[in-house]
A = this chain, B = another copy of it.
Amino acid sequence: MKKIGVATTGGDAPGMNAAIRAIVRIASLRNLQVVGFERGWNGLMKNESKLLTPRSVGGILGLGGTILHTARCPEFTKDEGVRKAAQTLSSNHVDGLVVIGGGGSFKGALDLSRETDALIVAVPATIDNDVYGTDETIGFDTAVNTAVTEIDKIRDTAISHERTFIVEVMGRDRGFLALMAGITSGAEIIIVPEIQYEEQKIFQTLKENSQRGKKSSIIVKAEGVGDARLLAKEIEEKTGAEVRISVLGYAQRGGSPTARSRFLASLFGNKAVELLLEAQGNKVVGLQKGQVSNLSLEKSCKTKKSLDLSLLSLATVLAT
């Protein structure tokens, strides 16, 4: 192992830069050269990269986004795209590649691993926290805190106006962010894609809250489930409450990473380089039972991470 590559793929997540920094500095110490491919898979396909050194990653630990940029890359889902990327690795004499991204990106990494001799290690970084093989992804803690900060502010208005708010957080397929933001902001109701929600129950909960003296409520809903406007209208009709909607948008993906996101990024980046040095490829780095560990990339891609539904019940009781 003499030269490794690193790329950030898929949606950006706070802490990606912290991971790049860790990879470059650990690798440099171990006498590996590091090149950064730009704009995710695009840089790999088009052979666009730059040398990364301990100095060139100075000052990025606390920055949101990714200095390597990232982009969607439909071409990479086709065989030809993957072959081009493999060729780039080979022509640049890259022996190992660290892919920093979310679950979707890891499928690409798996495809690429079949066309290249370079070892591939995946580092989970996504605010969706939907990667099997790790209890937590880089960026998740930051996004949760961003959402909670927003919801705390919205609650000021909810209480002042004695209104119900539907707050939509990111999460097309999975409810990790909605669940964690909901429980830690004290949301009265949490709606996640994993569970069919029952409108009647929602109406009932809101009515009971009102009777108990809770004049305002917060509903945290993942974007991928239900229709906020429709739900708002029905709640207004059925309960008489005034309902407002607030969609927490892309700010959830940005911002300076929290200490925890920076910490995970540092641990994961370190582990990724270690795995490459041990000639272990096709791995996903992760946090399991509080320990940094690793798992087969294939298994991670093929397995759906489960949501802890007992937390939903706990959230309901806590917001009584």
A contact set with B: CB distance below 8 Å: 8, 11-12, 14, 16, 21-22, 25-26, 28-29, 39, 54-55, 58-59, 61-66, 69-71, 135, 141, 144-146, 148, 150, 152-157, 159-162, 165, 180-181, 183-186, 212-214, 244-251, 253-256, 258-260, 262-263, 266-267, 270, 287-291, 314, 317-318, 320
* Total identical chains: 4
Residues of B contacting A320 with CB < 8 Å? 25, 28-29, 54
CA–CA, A141 and B25, complex, Å:
26
Residues of B contacting A154 with CB < 8 Å? 249-251, 254
Rank and list the top 6 A-B pairs by shortest CB-CB distance, nearest first: A246-B249, A156-B254, A153-B254, A64-B156, A65-B156, A65-B160
CA–CA, A160 and B40, complex, Å:
10
CA–CA, A72 and B212, complex, Å:
23
- Which of B153, B290, B318 meets A266, CB within 8 Å? B318
Contact B157 A254 (CB under 8 A): yes
Contact A152 B62 (CB under 8 A): yes
Query: Can you spell out 8 A-B residue pairs with CB atoms less than 8 angstroms apart?
Result: A25-B318, A25-B320, A64-B157, A152-B256, A155-B254, A184-B260, A260-B260, A288-B290
List 9 other contacts, CB 8 Å, given A153-B251, A184-B262: A11-B161, A54-B320, A66-B160, A69-B160, A180-B263, A184-B263, A244-B250, A246-B250, A290-B290
Contact B22 A318 (CB under 8 A): yes
Residues of B contacting A287 with CB < 8 Å? 290
Contact A183 B266 (CB under 8 A): yes
Residues of B contacting A145 with CB < 8 Å? 258-259
State the Cβ distance, A85 to closest chain B Cβ, in Å. Answer: 19
CA–CA, A221 and B89, complex, Å:
43
CA–CA, A184 and B180, complex, Å:
22
State the Cβ distance, A69 to closest chain B Cβ, in Å. Answer: 6
State the Cβ distance, A312 to closest chain B Cβ, in Å. Answer: 13
Contact B61 A186 (CB under 8 A): yes
Residues of B contacting A247 with CB < 8 Å? 247, 249
Residues of B contacting A160 with CB < 8 Å? 8, 12, 16, 65-66, 69-70
CA–CA, A288 and B12, complex, Å:
31
Given A244-B250, A245-B249, A289-B290, A162 and B318 touching (CB < 8 A)?
A: no
State the Cβ distance, A183 to closest chain B Cβ, in Å. Answer: 6
Contact A141 B259 (CB under 8 A): yes
Residues of B contacting A317 with CB < 8 Å? 25-26, 29
Contact A251 B246 (CB under 8 A): yes
Contact A259 B161 (CB under 8 A): no
Contact A161 B266 (CB under 8 A): no
Residues of B contacting A61 with CB < 8 Å? 184-186
Residues of B contacting A184 with CB < 8 Å? 61, 259-260, 262-263, 266
